[in-house]
A and B are shown apart, each in its own frame.
Chain A
């Protein structure tokens, strides 16, 4: 079972955990990506996330389906924020449940690593002296 969400409001980590909880799962792994206060030593004031919403949701669903196929996990919740985020807020929450811990860890890592490569969401870092779209230029 898969729960995919793009939210403009604060992500609900507990809801992700509750979604994946299952009597036949012996392990739940959770990854939370948060807004860091600096990039390469330069203070970051906040982040802005923009998404191609329909495609982002479809790509996130593909990743969850692939993770279930590859690692035999039971349930995955994958929630991503959009809009303005302050330092410390969660940008992404991934929760995975599996019968045993190894598959949960592996599937969770697969989800975040693949999300960063394929899901059409963009992050803009806002500094005191300007703004930069992350990874835009070579």
Chain B
């Protein structure tokens, strides 16, 4: 299956793009996606806690992904 990954802030600088598609095995979890991304982009491991969101909602490590989900890499937020 394929998910679309959005990267923001420092995460966008590390992945080099705001939008990318990522191929994953069916029923992959957020933890599996995180591991794949850290392997591909080691700089992500240097950041303070990076959260992931599925379709605009913060997701736990055990959350299961579905085909064409929109997943966002959310480095520490700093609005306000």
Contacts and interface: CB of A to CB of B under 8 A. Distances in A.
A121 B72 CA distance: 12
Contacts of A135: 48, 76-78
A137 interface: yes
Interface of A: 33, 49-52, 54-56, 58, 80, 91-92, 112, 115-124, 133-138
A53 to B, nearest CB: 10
Per DSSP, chain A at the interface is mixed
A118 B58 CA distance: 9
Interface residues of B, number: 21
Contacts of A118: 58, 77
A137 B72 contact: no
8 contacts: A118-B77, A119-B79, A120-B77, A120-B79, A122-B78, A133-B13, A135-B76, A136-B9
Given A52-B74, A55-B72, A136-B47, A115 B9 contact: no
Contacts of B57: 55
A92 B75 contact: no
Given A115-B79, A138-B47, 10 more contacts: A52-B6, A80-B79, A91-B79, A118-B58, A119-B77, A119-B79, A122-B78, A133-B9, A136-B76, A137-B48
